Amino acid sequence: MHPWSVSAQTRLLVVAPHPDDETLGCGLLLQQVLAAGGEVRIILMTDGDNNPWPQRYLERRLVIDEVARKRWGTRRRDEVMHALEQLSVPAAALHPLGWHDMEVTDRLRDDLDGSIAAIRSVLEAFRPNLVCGPALRDSHPDHGAAHVLCRLALAGMEPAPALLAYPVHGTSDVLAYRLSTGATSEQRERKLQALAEHRSQMALSGRRMHRLALSPERYMQVDAGAGDARLPWRPPAALRRWLRLLVASPAGVRDWPWLEAPVVCEAGGAFRLQVPEASPVFVKLHLDWPSPWIFDHWGWWEIETQ
């Protein structure tokens, strides 16, 4: 059983990396909190401006330059405002950060303090008792990085709000879902109407997004310190000269070449990070090679350190 229920005292903060995540991940929950008399806020990290294939399709263009990206981001910001209207969420509840799509990991690595400060400013002003953000193991790199930033922004916050994670991309996690929201037929219809407002995304991915919207909204309870002490990967030797290990914790962020990273190989072939870090500690194995494939292969993990 989850330790809370939606009521007039619920103060819900939803963290959405892109326009449409607020609807896909929490479209029913947002309505339920408002129906109970509670309050909601939404942090929109990016305007989804780096979304080239739908833009090429709808605008009949091949080259996407900076001007075109900005125009697309404006379009998607307008779409999220119309979607929130369908969910009866007031426009003032949206807090857009204006970051760039597909660059949340870069922000985490290059400006961790500034990125955390942007999230904390909303946390401190609103003081939520419930935060819903992307799942750590979501395969979209912006989603995994958004989870890490949320966790680091919440570290040390008193009183700490309940933290739930919603999955959007990928189904690899074998985790127990602790909450499945009930909803009225009207609320489900409003969620579909909100999704339809994201016309730029429905053009090429409408069937997949409609299927996601019809699925029950499920949230994973986030438990601090639930990680393993060992790194979850055994990277192939042929790739190690190009791999990098990104580590983020309240102490800061570091990005090592794998061959220079402070890891030790234990009996059995498992690796362990040798640098002591304050919890929570998140690690990401990655390649800095350009690729048309946007999703993470290894992704983020939470670990314990000794």
- Rounded (5°) CA angle 30-34-38: 110
The interaxial angle of helices 199-214 and 185-196, nearest 10 deg, is: 150
CA–CA dist 151, 224 (Å, integer): 9
pLDDT at 279: 84
> Is there a contact between 254 and 110 (Cβ–Cβ < 8 Å)?
no
The predicted-structure confidence for 198-250, as pLDDT tens digits, reads as follows 999 999 999 999 998 988 888 888 876 656 778 999 999 999 999 999 999 99
Residue 191 has pLDDT above 60, yes or no: yes
Which residue in 50, 32, 51 sits closest to 40, CA to CA? 32
pLDDT-based confidence at 171, cuts 50/70/90? low
Residue 7 has a CB neighbour count (10 Å cut-off) of: 10
Please state whether beta strands 162-166 and 243-249 pair in parallel, antiparallel, or not at all (unpaired).
Answer: unpaired
What are the structural domains, with CATH classification, of the chain?
A: 11-221 (3.40.50.10320), 237-303 (no CATH)
pLDDT at 174: 45
Instruction: Quote the radius of gyration of the chain (alpha carbons, Å).
Output: 19
User: If you average pLDDT over each of 81-95, 269-283, 287-301, which comes out highest?
Assistant: 81-95
**Close Cβ partners of 207 (under 8 Å, ≥ 6 residues apart):** none
> Is there a contact between 11 and 130 (Cβ–Cβ < 8 Å)?
yes
pLDDT at 226: 59
pLDDT-based confidence at 181, cuts 50/70/90? low
If 0-12 CB within 10 Å is exposed, 13-18 middle and 19+ buried, where does residue 206 land? middle
pLDDT at 222: 85
What is the pTM assigned to this prediction?
0.94
Amino acid identity at 56: R
Averaged pLDDT, 53-58: 94
Residue 180 has pLDDT above 70, yes or no: no
The predicted-structure confidence for 110-155, as pLDDT tens digits, reads as follows 999 999 999 999 999 999 999 999 999 999 999 999 999 999 999 9
Residue 96 has pLDDT above 60, yes or no: yes
